Structure 1
């Protein structure tokens, strides 16, 4: 049995045999310890290449050997995994903003509340390392103090745009008995809305504190859903559903998704920030998230 599988997923509708042959040449030249044992086209835009190593070879070492090829490939995502029975996951956990949906909800709320400039300033400070996630969330939520909660929710929910391929992906995974969850650093009413739209099994996000007359206090309540919380919750879900952690997958685009990727069986950076793509176990930058099925070992 082949020890590793490399999946090529093209950003275009078709992955040609010539392109695969060129990638295979680069693949074998990148690692003198591995030889291609089998090639299998699994859809018009994806192929699996099975590798055997001549001796013991850790996945991390092979990943390092292939890093240059993975980073230099602009029109094909290259995903390396062990070829074992843990490839088809039993639990898939998603981030929400810029993953299950195209938008960032906090920016939509800022627009609704006419505080876009102030939120952008906080975002810039966070990106410059002046604020951590907890502090940036606290400052952003404080800007919302006094807003009526129900009109806010009702104005934004219909505008949430689900990422292309996500509904089909979720339906397919559900048919295979996979548990699905969304863990968001955003806010629970929107996470629950997306959960209901996609028929997910679980949702967790931050909760906004509300006064008796339905206005925001400018604070959150309960556990902060940051990267560490996402990692803990993923493991809790594994225990809840009697699923081994190696049979779980985390999909997200931000740095606060990396801790959950680290404890899951595998991780996928979906159209992520450059640093996240570099640190995540794999990356996917295609037009439709239905291509995640190829990473999980399913053929179209």
Structure 2
């Protein structure tokens, strides 16, 4: 079913608005280019002069042109070897911003009793800070390995395996959404999932309401709500 324009820059398909925000119990957010304004891996790569190379891989992965997301992330992270924690701190303090309407939407969801989940193919260095800044309940993302010894404080170009697995890709985002719903004793149809890239589609496909935010074409095509102009809080226009 083709999406129908709801208002300028906002399109819907598969339902008639408004839905009731209180009818949902969980909202899941992607981080990079959804909840925040940058792709962190690209900006980190800028510290070693490789932003363009890494950004090209990121763009292809987000458009769904690279089938193996895990391998694409390993390739990008390998190029980060030698980046320092201080470099990442600079990205956080000088480049990373919440996208317009992010805090307003999160607060509205929290006020309506929804739990919040941040699932990212990015890194805990950033997701943990966004979690604390917004009071998000649950997170899942990747851990960058940091050198000890003579190169203490520099990235090794690898990620650290975690108890749940190695890399948070699309399949892991879906798994985390389903596990969080089970933990809360709710149906996935009582969840909202928001993202912009192809690796968000598996979790968006499980949710009762899927939202594409300034997203890649493949994601817009499959989402129930497309926010193509304005901030994340435009979702509230279709949620009473």
Structure-1-length-normalised TM-score: 0.70
Bigger relative CO (Cα 8 Å, ≥ 6 apart): 2
More helix by share: 2
Q: CA deviation at 1:136?
A: 1.4
Q: State whether residues 261 and 281 of structure 1, in contact with CA within 8 Å, keep that contact through their aligned partners in structure 2.
A: no
**Matching residue of 2:153:** 214
Helix, strand or coil at the partner of 2:31: coil
Distance 1:76 1:263, change over 3 A: closer
**Matching residue of 1:154:** 89
Helix, strand or coil at the partner of 2:33: coil
1:116 to 2:59 alignment: no
Name which one, 1 or 2, has greater alpha-carbon Rg: 1
Q: CA deviation at 1:74?
A: 6.0
Residues 82-140 of structure 1: CA deviation (Å, up to 9, x unaligned): 68878731100000011101111111111122112332453466568466211111111
For structure 1, list consecutive stretches of 5 or more residues without a partner in the other structure.
1-63
Count of residues in Structure 1 that have an aligned counterpart in Structure 2: 230
Q: CA deviation at 1:78?
A: 3.2
**Matching residue of 1:257:** 200
Residues 18-51 of structure 1: CA deviation (Å, up to 9, x unaligned): xxxxxxxxxxxxxxxxxxxxxxxxxxxxxxxxxx
Helix, strand or coil at the partner of 1:177: coil
Residues 142-199 of structure 1: CA deviation (Å, up to 9, x unaligned): 11112322x1232111131101111111111111111011111111110111111111
Q: CA deviation at 1:291?
A: 1.7
**Matching residue of 1:96:** 31
Distance 1:229 1:128, change over 3 A: closer
Q: Distance in 2 between matches of 1:121 and 1:231?
A: 25
Structure-2-length-normalised TM-score: 0.86
Which stretch shifts more, 114-123 or 152-161?
Answer: 114-123
CA RMSD of aligned residues (A): 2.5
1:70 to 2:13 alignment: no
